[in-house]
Amino acid sequence: ISQQSAAILFCVEGDATLWKGSQQLQLKPGESAFIAANESPVTVKGHGRLARVYNKL
């Protein structure tokens, strides 16, 4: 996932793992993550559905 602004990822169903370098974060339904603009891009893997909110610049 890549964008020029900050973003919020919300796990709607299933599960997802976010990776940035050596850091990882697992999301389950109802959990969310904030991604700062300077952290983009982030790798996402898993079996589920995410909602992403960001500003299109």
The domain limits of the chain are 7-54
Cis omega (within 30 of 0) for bond into 41: yes
**Burial (CB count <10 Å: 0-12, 13-18, 19+), residue 9:** buried
Q: Residue 43: beta bridge partners? A: 19
What percentage of the chain exceeds 70 in pLDDT?
100
Cα–Cα distance for residue pair 27/51, rounded to 1 Å: 12
CATH number, domain 7-54, options 3.30.559.10, 2.60.120.10, 1.10.10.60, 3.40.50.2000: 2.60.120.10
Q: Name residues of the chain where pLDDT drops below 50.
A: none
Q: What is the pLDDT of residue 40?
A: 85
